[in-house]
Amino acid sequence: MHIERRLLDRMRLWFVTVAMATLLPVIAFGQGADELASTIEQSLQGIEFRLDIRPQQAASDLEAQGRQLQLLEQQAPEHPALPELKEKFSELQDGLASALAGAAGDAGTGAGAAQVPTAPAAFTAGMEQVDQLQRQAEAEFLRGETEAAAEYLEQAEAHMVQLEQRYGAELPAGHVPLLVTKEKIAALKDQLAGTNARN
């Protein structure tokens, strides 16, 4: 129970970081180099957590942060945080290579499948639909269309609840993709609530 709580706490921190990184292209030119450096640092910390859990997603996230690091270097080439951020980025690249190699090895030997219980295929397919609705909600939110974002988010949450009710007994304990999706939805709901409160 304590392990799951710690995992959820770390995942919540990661999702806040991801939410900030998602908004970064919209606000990057309106914020200072210090804020950009801070955001990159937090995002790299989140990626480090994801390396062993979902290396493919971590690879995509790391590529995005590489672009943000280039942006920071262009905007503020003498920024004091740059050397440390570059070193951390390089370390994560090395770690990612090892994680991807390990994942490929597990897939080739079948070791990963033997060690990790899997969810029903229908549940996984349904969660992909939930993820798509959640991403549509994020896109609408970034465009400032909060009502449309709220509608997509409501659909995503309702579909997720249906899937959990139908397949919950067949899911492995602490099913990470489900926890991840719940945190994504909760983070976006918080952002919508904050925006509506300001309006």
pLDDT in tens, 96-120: 777 777 766 655 544 444 444 577 8
Clarify whether residues 73 and 146 are in a common domain: no
For residue 99, the enclosing domain spans 2-115
According to the model, what pLDDT value does residue 13 have?
Answer: 53
Clarify whether residues 96 and 174 are in a common domain: no
8 close to 36: Cβ distance less than 8 angstroms: no
Clarify whether residues 129 and 76 are in a common domain: no
**pLDDT bucket at 152, cuts 50 / 70 / 90:** very high
**pLDDT bucket at 150, cuts 50 / 70 / 90:** very high
Clarify whether residues 108 and 161 are in a common domain: no
**pLDDT bucket at 84, cuts 50 / 70 / 90:** very high
The residue with greater pLDDT, 14 or 65, is 65
**pLDDT bucket at 197, cuts 50 / 70 / 90:** confident
Q: Of 48-57, 78-87, 159-168, which gets the smallest average pLDDT? A: 48-57
* Highest mean pLDDT: which range of 27-36, 60-69, 93-102, 139-148: 139-148
Angle formed at CA 177 by CA 170 and CA 164, multiple of 5 degrees: 40
Q: Per-residue pLDDT for 29 more than 60?
A: no
**Separation between Cα atoms, residue 26 and residue 14, nearest integer Å:** 20
50 Cα distance to chain centroid? 8
pLDDT (mean) for 91-100: 80
Contacts of 79 (CB under 8 A, 6+ apart): 33, 34, 37, 72, 73
**Separation between Cα atoms, residue 87 and residue 115, nearest integer Å:** 34
Q: How far is CA 185 from CA 18, 36, 58, 90, 142, in A?
A: 12, 24, 19, 31, 15
Q: Per-residue pLDDT for 177 more than 50?
A: yes
Clarify whether residues 90 and 142 are in a common domain: no
Contacts of 111 (CB under 8 A, 6+ apart): 105
Domain end among 74, 96, 115: 115
Q: What is the largest CA-CA distance in the chain?
A: 55
Residue reference for tokens 């996984």: 124
Clarify whether residues 16 and 107 are in a common domain: yes
According to the model, what pLDDT value does residue 6 have?
Answer: 56
The residue with greater pLDDT, 27 or 156, is 156
According to the model, what pLDDT value does residue 27 have?
Answer: 44
Clarify whether residues 111 and 139 are in a common domain: no
Amino acid at 107: A
* Total structural domains within the chain: 2
153 class by beta-carbon count within 10 Å (0-12 exposed, 13-18 middle, 19+ buried): buried
Clarify whether residues 76 and 161 are in a common domain: no
Domain end among 86, 115, 144: 115
Clarify whether residues 93 and 63 are in a common domain: yes
Domain end among 115, 148, 166: 115
Clarify whether residues 19 and 65 are in a common domain: yes
Clarify whether residues 84 and 19 are in a common domain: yes
The residue with greater pLDDT, 86 or 97, is 86
Clarify whether residues 110 and 17 are in a common domain: yes
